[in-house]
Chains A and B, each alone.
Chain A
Amino acid sequence: MDLNPKDLRVDAAEKVRGETHYIADEKIPDLWYAGTVRSAHARAKILAIKFDPAFDWQSVAVVTAKDVPNNYVAMIETDMPFLADGVVNYIGEPIVIIAAPNKELLQQAIQHVRIEYEPLPAVFDLLASETSGVHIYGEKNVFKEILIEKGDLEAAKAAAAATVEIETRTGFQEHLYLEPQGLIAIPKQNGVEVRGSMQCPYYIKGALDKMFDGKMAVTVVQSATGGAFGGKEDYPSLIAGHVALLAAKCGHPVAMIFDREEDVRYTTKRHPSYIKSQAYVTRDGRLLGLDLTLYLDGGAYSTLSPVVLSRAALTATGCYFVPHVRIHAKAVATNTVPSGAFRGFGGPQAVFGIEMLMEKMALTLKLSPRQVRQINLIEPGQTTATGQVLKYSVSARETFEDVLAQSDYERKREQYIAWNQPILTRLRQGRFPKQDQNDVLKGIGISAFLHGAGFTGTGENKIQGKIRIELNAAGQPIIYSAQTEMGQGEQTVFKKILAEALGIERDRVLLSEVNTDIVPNSGPTVASRSTMVIGSLLIDAAQEMIAQLSCRLRDEYGDDFEYRQGYFWTGEKILPFESVARRYHDIVIEKQYCHPAFIKFDDTKWKGDAYPCFSWAAAVAEIEVDPVTLEIKVTRYYTSHEIGKAINYDQAVAQIQGGSLQGIGWALYEKVELKDGQFDVSGFTDYIVPTVMEAPEFHVRILENPYPFGPFGAKGLGELPFVGAAPAVVSALWMIFGREFNRLPVLPELLHALGIGLRAR
């Protein structure tokens, strides 16, 4: 394989030229528009749905819960209805959906629906949920509970020189993909086709097959997708049901394209979290034991919360070896918009918890943040909390040392501590802290992080992703998989992997449209799995393709052909791949994924190999804090990532830059709170994401340490960069102020509330 060439993206030119069609760009004749009547209450009984007789209801299509054959969105559980039936559990929950031939009539129709409610007590606090007496899910509002235990915590406690404790909290986060949610359903003979912006066409197909009770033929087609980050993993199944029901009812194609406000207010967010860690440590900072309690706020319905919780719990010890562990994790229900998948999937909350524990250990034991991490970094041969022995492709220490070196962390830390001294002194004395406009506080922070690649636990073996390779009449291979391009570069990577494995030009490889009638179910495009899992199937398929073509050549020529870099060769004959493929283009290769047999996980006892491998990283963030306004800015961001092998080096760097900036946003800008049970944000004005002005100077290094079962050694990448950005930024705040910071996001008003900064006199 070429050494880190600059592989230009296959989809870039078309996107620059504005020729890529997203779902809202489709011209579909006779298209109707759909809208939603939503709950005004966080929890209430629905007493009546009244349709004003003054409106001509024959001119539109209306669907309520009673019209839905199976009224639940099939995910892990079946608790979430497509349309509320008798009771609502969050503000904005869909109750009635309407389709109309034009947008004006649709708005009129929505305004002529009146819902009568009997409000019920609601719960919004994740820690109060279990004992609130409000019953949203089961007896105690617990979607999932996990207990992971290793070793003997009491022994650790007895042997420890000190106990260090910290509680951390993180808030909601909105994906804010640039293209809002949007799907169109087109009625077909005895069925329906749904197309639009999505990550997981087979999740949607599964949900619609269940909804229609298998009585409608369902086809799902992905359109060009303008960003997703997890936000288009689970949520589109809900609106797919809505458009499909309306299309089936009115007989017209029906579009539901959210505007930004509807998208921000009513679609899923990152799970808020609470973590309490109690660490038993030696005087030099070595972790002997960790007792950790973790809560995630799942919102009103379970969606993917059980598996988000698994990843959070399994990531809770971070990049560190801890001999004795107890992790007790719960995902609970509250009366808010259901939380859903978001890049990192529970990992970022967990890593924030353990990294802030490291900061607290350093502060308590008077060690440097570097030292407490270095002494605990996990090594090959050591075990994780589930007893997984790390056997290969382990780079916690390598990435950490690399980022220290590339950022010059130690020297800058000393330098900034000295620089800040006079400014902090003036601040503490109540004097104006700036004598010069350059008098800003400078900080440098560090984090170590990891991401388990692929589905958690037995997930990959349950999904058993399948792909197919066909040959066209010109002898070009065509990849059939359900993996979706949403900006991450999947199309470019897949073409490159197959081309490299066959020894042919990348541009000769074709990709099928992602259409469930055509492509097999290779599983969802989530969990940083596409390159590692589906990529490995592409390699297997290429090898089998070569073997089968060689067989045919032997049958025809009676000679054994050898395959060399795109050519079949024997004695005096040499034939290029494409001419042979053209000749035998009836060959079809199918491959199905299964983990290597030695990877074993028990997901009832939480023991074993939670992931086939982990990707590793470390980051250093340099920040400046204005001592007057307390505005925080990341100026430089260094990170070293070990992802096995970067298939497309340039776009791997791009993923790392983009994911890191999202993590910086989560740390410093992106705040969503509840006001009377409703999100207090509506768009880009009140939900602040980083612009180019907030982007730091990036220094990205990618290290290689091949995973034996990934394509060319590759592991997962997509989520990892997000995971450790926030803790690195907040670590820099600990450095500047020499005190604890334990929640996200950190806005200037939080620093003011903590008593940092000038007091009004």
Chain B
Amino acid sequence: MQIRFFVNGKEVELSVSPKRRLLDILREDLDLVGTKEGCGKGECGACTVVMNGLAVNSCLVPAFQLDQCHIFTIEGLRERPWFPLLERAYVDHGAVQCGFCTTGFVMSTAALLANAAPPLSLEQIKWQLAGNICRCTGYAKILAAVMDLSQQQSVVNEIKLDWQSAIGGR
């Protein structure tokens, strides 16, 4: 089938099988390999991307759902003006080890900050990140990074604004 959608703000037109996974479209057809495959069954969160402003597992999104959608991957997110602040929080808090789950966590983090009403409690953050599995860190430093970000009102506002104007696509 023919689909037309937006990836990182750019319009994409593809002729694909309706069942083809968004994950494969991103990694194989569009060469956006920052999104990782950890399980292929929506269980680990390594392939998390932002779809119409919400964090989703790209391995569970078939092509036929994509028409007119707005997809953001790590390749798009890292170009946003506020991204260096998110990057710094992860790096400064030592929240990265093997890195294979990291981009998925980063996507979930951004969507969480964009969509949740502040102030965020630790329990709320945990709940929002529970779909992303990390086998290295024990989560403590990831939580510290996200907690720190959530308390920086100017960063959160900047992300929310960007979500409304560009990333959410509405």
Q: Is A689 a contact of B102 with CB atoms below 8 Å?
A: no
Task: Name the contact of B138 in the complex, choosing from A259, A486, A487, A698 (C-beta under 8 A).
Answer: A698
Given contacts A12-B90, A178-B101, is CB(A684)–CB(B138) below 8 Å? no
Give Cα A169–Cα B155 distance, bound, in whole angstroms: 51
Given contacts A662-B135, A684-B133, A689-B135, is CB(A11)–CB(B99) below 8 Å? yes
Q: Is B135 a contact of A685 with CB atoms below 8 Å?
A: no
> Please, which residues of chain A bring their CB within 8 A of the CB of B33?
18, 21, 24-25
Chain A 513-530: CB-based contact to B (< 8 A → 1; otherwise 0): 000000000000000000
Chain A 693-711: CB-based contact to B (< 8 A → 1; otherwise 0): 1010010000000000000
Given contacts A16-B87, A662-B135, is CB(A489)–CB(B97) below 8 Å? yes
Number of residues of chain A lying within 8 A (CB) of chain B: 55
Chain B 17-49: CB-based contact to A (< 8 A → 1; otherwise 0): 000000000010001011111111101101000
Q: For the complex, is A224 an interface residue (Cβ under 8 Å from B)?
A: yes
Q: Is B87 a contact of A9 with CB atoms below 8 Å?
A: no
> Please, which residues of chain A bring their CB within 8 A of the CB of B134?
178, 692
- B residues 67-106 near A (Cβ < 8 Å) are 73-75, 78, 86-87, 90-92, 94-103, 106
Give Cα A741–Cα B15 distance, bound, in whole angstroms: 59
Q: Is B78 a contact of A24 with CB atoms below 8 Å?
A: no
CB distance from A174 to the nearest CB of B (A): 10
> Please, which residues of chain B bring their CB within 8 A of the CB of A689?
133, 135
Task: Name the contact of B97 in the complex, choosing from A24, A27, A488, A661 (C-beta under 8 A).
Answer: A488
Give Cα A412–Cα B96 distance, bound, in whole angstroms: 34
Q: Is B135 a contact of A695 with CB atoms below 8 Å?
A: no
Given contacts A15-B102, A16-B106, A684-B41, is CB(A487)–CB(B31) below 8 Å? no
Q: Is B38 a contact of A692 with CB atoms below 8 Å?
A: no
> Please, which residues of chain A bring their CB within 8 A of the CB of B74?
17-18
Give Cα A698–Cα B137 distance, bound, in whole angstroms: 12
> Please, which residues of chain A bring their CB within 8 A of the CB of B43?
683-685
Q: Is the interface of B mostly helix, strand, loop or mixed?
A: loop
Q: Is A685 a contact of B94 with CB atoms below 8 Å?
A: no
Q: Is B87 a contact of A658 with CB atoms below 8 Å?
A: no
Give Cα A372–Cα B127 distance, bound, in whole angstroms: 40
Give Cα A176–Cα B140 distance, bound, in whole angstroms: 19
> Please, which residues of chain B bring their CB within 8 A of the CB of A374?
none
Q: For the complex, is B4 an interface residue (Cβ under 8 Å from A)?
A: no
Give Cα A236–Cα B87 distance, bound, in whole angstroms: 33
Q: Is B44 a contact of A692 with CB atoms below 8 Å?
A: no
Task: Name the contact of B136 in the complex, choosing from A21, A487, A653 (C-beta under 8 A).
Answer: A487
> Please, which residues of chain A bring their CB within 8 A of the CB of B120?
none
Task: Name the contact of B38 in the complex, choosing from A18, A178, A657, A691 (C-beta under 8 A).
Answer: A178
Q: For the complex, is A713 an interface residue (Cβ under 8 Å from B)?
A: no
CB distance from B87 to the nearest CB of A (A): 5
Q: For the complex, is A511 an interface residue (Cβ under 8 Å from B)?
A: no
Give Cα A751–Cα B91 distance, bound, in whole angstroms: 42
Give the segment of A78-86, A225-233, A312-320 that binds chain B: A225-233
Q: Is A698 a contact of B140 with CB atoms below 8 Å?
A: yes
Q: Is the interface of A mostly helix, strand, loop or mixed?
A: loop
Q: Is B41 a contact of A692 with CB atoms below 8 Å?
A: no
Give Cα A459–Cα B90 distance, bound, in whole angstroms: 38
> Please, which residues of chain B bring their CB within 8 A of the CB of A654?
94, 97, 136-138, 140-141
Given contacts A27-B31, A685-B41, is CB(A651)–CB(B94) below 8 Å? yes
Q: For the complex, is B116 an interface residue (Cβ under 8 Å from A)?
A: no
**Closest B residue, CB atoms, query A665:** B135
Q: For the complex, is A260 an interface residue (Cβ under 8 Å from B)?
A: yes
Task: Name the contact of A695 in the complex, choosing from B35, B37, B139 (C-beta under 8 A).
Answer: B139
> Please, which residues of chain A bring their CB within 8 A of the CB of B130?
691-693
Given contacts A12-B91, A260-B38, is CB(A226)–CB(B98) below 8 Å? yes
Q: Is A657 a contact of B99 with CB atoms below 8 Å?
A: no
Chain A 170-186: CB-based contact to B (< 8 A → 1; otherwise 0): 00000111111000000
Chain A 299-316: CB-based contact to B (< 8 A → 1; otherwise 0): 000000000000000000
Q: Is B94 a contact of A260 with CB atoms below 8 Å?
A: no
Given contacts A657-B141, A685-B41, is CB(A178)–CB(B98) below 8 Å? yes
Q: Is A224 a contact of B99 with CB atoms below 8 Å?
A: yes
Residues of B within 8 A of A (CB): 27, 31, 33-41, 43-44, 46, 73-75, 78, 86-87, 90-92, 94-103, 106, 126-127, 129-143
The contact sample of 22 A-B pairs, CB cut-off 8 A, is: A6-B92, A8-B91, A15-B99, A16-B91, A16-B96, A17-B34, A18-B73, A20-B99, A178-B38, A178-B136, A226-B36, A226-B98, A227-B97, A487-B97, A487-B136, A488-B97, A661-B139, A685-B43, A689-B133, A693-B130, A695-B139, A695-B143
Residues of A within 8 A of B (CB): 6, 8-9, 11-22, 24-25, 27, 175-180, 224-229, 259-260, 486-489, 650-651, 653-654, 657-662, 683-685, 689, 691-693, 695, 698
Further pairs besides A24-B37, A260-B41: 13, Cβ < 8 Å: A9-B94, A12-B96, A15-B99, A16-B91, A17-B78, A18-B34, A18-B73, A18-B78, A20-B99, A22-B36, A487-B99, A691-B131, A691-B132
